[in-house]
A and B are shown apart, each in its own frame.
Chain A
Amino acid sequence: MSDRKFHPETLAIHAGQIPDAATGARALPIYQTSSFVFDSAEHAASLFNLQTFGNVYSRLSNPTVAVLEERVAALEGGRAGVASASGMAAETMALMTILQAGDHVVAAGALYGGSVTMLAVSLQKFGIDTSFVDATQPEAFAAAMRPNTRAVFAESLGNPSMVVLDIAAVAAVAHAHGVPLIVDNTVPSPMLCNPLAMGADVVVHSATKYLGGHGTTLGGLVVEGGKFPWDNGKFPGMTEPSKGYHGVKFYETFGDFGFTMRCRMESLRVFGAALSPMSAWQILQGVETLPLRMTKHCDNALGVAQFLQNDPRVAWVNYPGLPDHPQHDLLMRQMRGASGLLAFGVKGGLSQGVKFIESAQFMSHLVNIGDTRTLISHPASTTHRQLDDAQQLAAGVPPDMVRISVGLENVDDILWDIDQALAAAQ
């Protein structure tokens, strides 16, 4: 009897969680505990040596958090996952697990502003250089590779640039140089796009966005595909005895989830950005309805994009779900929808855009995406404010850009609010 391959809708509800061994509880128990008892000194030693699986301390692993880790790994078609306190923490852990001083990263220019700052400023402080390239040009990634390049980093769907990454082509560039492609898959969520199936090696998420979906709870995930050959000579930290974890050889010992174990034991355990069990539980309540929500987010966003495209008060619209978007065909090849995120400019420029944002009745002016509520913001003055003008343009953020994360309200009501705010901005 071969094992059934379950669909994403089923995985979103079941993956990672069977009834509780101790109590039979069907819904997920919240193991709100810092620590776990050892059966004996020998048991403690085995746990610390990673010779037996078990829980020690909730900064390393926690049974409630582990359900979220496994569920997102399953939705991504990955081998294993590790959760973190935020999306930025997940990105930090994914990169810090394999990078060290003297290494180089090739990254898409069109990234979330916090990611640009992390690479261009924070990792630079530790001797890790990053080259930013045009994310629409796979050959630009190839041209930026150096002998000391150890990772390629990009977003599957750029926030807020809406740039679509040619995942298979960029993965091929990375693999030709023997390095992994790490993809931030936050904007499409695992329901719309699975980068691992197209050749990416590691996926990171801000679970704060569509995964949780309710705008209440911060969280992040790192998911490993399990196919990257970490023993290709470029990653001695994966194959040599770990200095950070008493001599364990992570790739040899844990094979296709060796990266995840190293991320857990050397990055999560040491840097400490663990997700709380309560937060994991809250995010999981959202994940159960992710398939239903993403369909509705896409439908509503397409309705908004079409409305804006036909409105004379609007200068431009950027939504790859529109058939005339230059990357529409690539999007349709790689994704099952264009998500609820889009960007546009109000005619007249920045001052009209600001007026639009300030005139909204129920669309919320804040810097989050992926909420049930429709959210609007002005990236150049908020999420991308730390970037200079050139960096903003490279990140796909013109000064007049308004970002909308289209929520789950009735689409006619959303269009009504947009219409009246546009009128007020004239």
Chain B
Amino acid sequence: MNNDVHALRHILKSYRTIAVVGLSAEWHRPSFFAAKYMQSHGYKIVPVNPRYAGHMILGEVCYASLLDIAHPIDMVDVFRRTEDVLPIAEQAVQIGARCLWQQLGVNNFQADALVREANMHSVTHRCVKIEHARLFGGLNWVGVNTGIISARRPA
């Protein structure tokens, strides 16, 4: 996995189109929190959730599966149980995504190994919103130990 600061910074700077698998349409769910945050920071969000297929979430069309998306996806962000991640990882490889990101509490080692074998980046057991705010500013405002020690401005 690529959970260190250097790799995370590269991933979040390079990959701007994010398919969010398991995105909820309910505003108080963590997946909605994270996707809304990423969208407001300039990322294109592509909702993936069979429950809302064909409907709009956060102003974007929701797809039933990663395989239904017609345009390129940089990163697949997974809000699903650990045991359900492997097929999603296989699809992520299939559609040519560059990174598989397993959210906080999601930690499928087989999926991690599979995507790294495919020369993709892999992040496990991390929240994309929290990591973005940790590296690029925001999380420090709520007293979280970001681990960032630097003599450069946030960028």
Residue A371 lies at the interface, judged by CB distance under 8 Å to chain B? no
| A-contact 0/1 string along B122-148, CB 8 Å cutoff | 000001001001000111111111111
Query: B138 near A52 (CB under 8 angstroms)?
Result: yes
In the bound assembly, the distance between CA atoms of A20 and B154 in angstroms comes to: 8
In the bound assembly, the distance between CA atoms of A252 and B31 in angstroms comes to: 10
Query: B149 near A53 (CB under 8 angstroms)?
Result: no
Chain B residues with a Cβ closer than 8 Å to the other chain, count: 35
Residue B71 lies at the interface, judged by CB distance under 8 Å to chain A? no
Residue A89 lies at the interface, judged by CB distance under 8 Å to chain B? no
Choice from B30, B141, B149 contacting A14 with Cβ under 8 Å? B149
| B-contact 0/1 string along A243-281, CB 8 Å cutoff | 000011100110111001100100000000000000000
Query: A54 near B141 (CB under 8 angstroms)?
Result: yes
Query: A53 near B133 (CB under 8 angstroms)?
Result: yes
Choice from A4, A61, A241 contacting B141 with Cβ under 8 Å? A61
Query: A1 near B4 (CB under 8 angstroms)?
Result: yes
Q: Smallest CB–CB gap between A320 and chain B, Å?
A: 29
Further pairs besides A18-B149, A73-B144, A253-B30: 10, Cβ < 8 Å: A18-B153, A21-B137, A51-B32, A52-B36, A53-B139, A67-B140, A70-B146, A73-B143, A248-B28, A255-B127
Report 28 cross-chain contacts, Cβ distance below 8 Å, ordered by A residue. A1-B4, A1-B7, A6-B149, A11-B149, A14-B149, A14-B150, A18-B148, A19-B151, A20-B153, A21-B137, A46-B40, A49-B28, A51-B37, A52-B37, A52-B138, A53-B139, A54-B138, A54-B141, A61-B141, A66-B140, A67-B140, A69-B142, A70-B145, A79-B144, A81-B143, A252-B30, A253-B33, A255-B130
| B-contact 0/1 string along A45-66, CB 8 Å cutoff | 0100111111100000101001
Interface centre among B5, B7, B139, B148 (most CB of A within 10 A): B148
Choice from B33, B144, B151 contacting A18 with Cβ under 8 Å? B151
Query: B4 near A50 (CB under 8 angstroms)?
Result: no
Choice from B28, B37, B148, B152 contacting A249 with Cβ under 8 Å? B28
Query: A53 near B33 (CB under 8 angstroms)?
Result: no
Query: B142 near A260 (CB under 8 angstroms)?
Result: yes
Provide the residues of chain A in CB contact with B109, threshold 8 Å.
Answer: none
Provide the residues of chain A in CB contact with B137, threshold 8 Å.
Answer: 21
Chain A residues with a Cβ closer than 8 Å to the other chain, count: 51
Q: Which B residues lie at the A interface, using CB under 8 A?
A: 4-7, 27-28, 30, 32-33, 36-37, 40, 104-105, 127, 130, 133, 137-154
In the bound assembly, the distance between CA atoms of A52 and B151 in angstroms comes to: 25
Which residue of chain B lies nearest to A43 when distances are taken between CB atoms in the complex? Answer: B40
Which residue of chain B lies nearest to A256 when distances are taken between CB atoms in the complex? Answer: B104
Query: A73 near B145 (CB under 8 angstroms)?
Result: yes
In the bound assembly, the distance between CA atoms of A54 and B7 in angstroms comes to: 25
Q: Which 5 A-B residue pairings sit nearest by Cβ, starting from the closest?
A: A69-B143, A53-B138, A73-B145, A80-B144, A81-B143
Q: A51-B33, A54-B138, A247-B28 are in contact. Are A18 and B143 (CB under 8 A)?
A: no
